A and B are shown apart, each in its own frame.
Chain A
Amino acid sequence: MTVEDLAKNSSLTLLTEGLDLSTEITKPFCCDLLSIAMGKAPAGACWVTVTVNTNTLAVATLTDVACIIFAEGSAVDPALIEKANEEEIPLFKTELSEFDAALLAHTA
């Protein structure tokens, strides 16, 4: 499943614009503690979290995740979306819980 395939899901809103969505998603990864995500987020993961700040983006960039889903209707600051466009990390938001959002990226 690519990020583009994931983006077709009506429960998700793609926040970033004009980014390459052809990245293959390796697996979903749920985590709200950045310290743990830093060590454990698999490369190419679809990272589902409710931790919304610029450090989330930094961790996403450094761990090479494919995209981020902000779950539970988390509010996302426009400045953060702009930064994600610069860093080329596709961002989604959803009203779904982390578990339900992660299921969308689960293909096994």
Chain B
Amino acid sequence: MADVLEFTYEVSGEDFTRAGEASSDVKRKLKKLGVSPDVIRRVSIALYEGEINMVIHAHGGKITIQISEDAITMILDDRGPGIPDIEKAMTAGYSTAPDKVRNLGFGAGMGLPNMKKNTDSIDIETKLGVGTKVKMVIKL
């Protein structure tokens, strides 16, 4: 069994200006590990979109990153409201972001589509009133 590096981050749902700190840290770590720039970029984009979603919709949550020899796995776990209609949420342009978030330049409905586009697999488990767990894998 190959070694797996694991990092976890608590994402605060309070401070919107700090959103992206986990993604930035993962990016720095991957750079140090010598991961290819293309993979780093895809991880960064997918993870940042997920992190922002957690802040906007779910009052924060927990991010777990697992790096193995052949893949990077990102697990985003929140105790938010859940996603009522995943198919709709995956549609480019569909957004339920509040106005204050749109004023900052978000809410174009590109988050989940960007996450899908930049990963090799995305798996979403969601339960209304309980939370959402997103698992994304990028192969190395």
Contacts and interface: CB of A to CB of B under 8 A. Distances in A.
Given A39-B114, A43-B37, A62-B45, A55 B27 contact: no
Q: Is the interface of A mostly helix, strand, loop or mixed?
A: helix
B16 interface: yes
B108 A35 contact: yes
Contacts, number: 72
19 contacts: A35-B105, A35-B109, A36-B110, A37-B105, A38-B48, A39-B110, A39-B113, A39-B117, A39-B118, A51-B104, A53-B105, A55-B16, A55-B19, A55-B52, A58-B20, A58-B23, A58-B24, A61-B24, A63-B44
Interface of A: 32-39, 43, 51, 53-56, 58-59, 61-64, 87
Interface of B: 16-17, 19-20, 23-24, 27, 37, 41, 44-45, 48-49, 52, 104-111, 113-114, 117-118
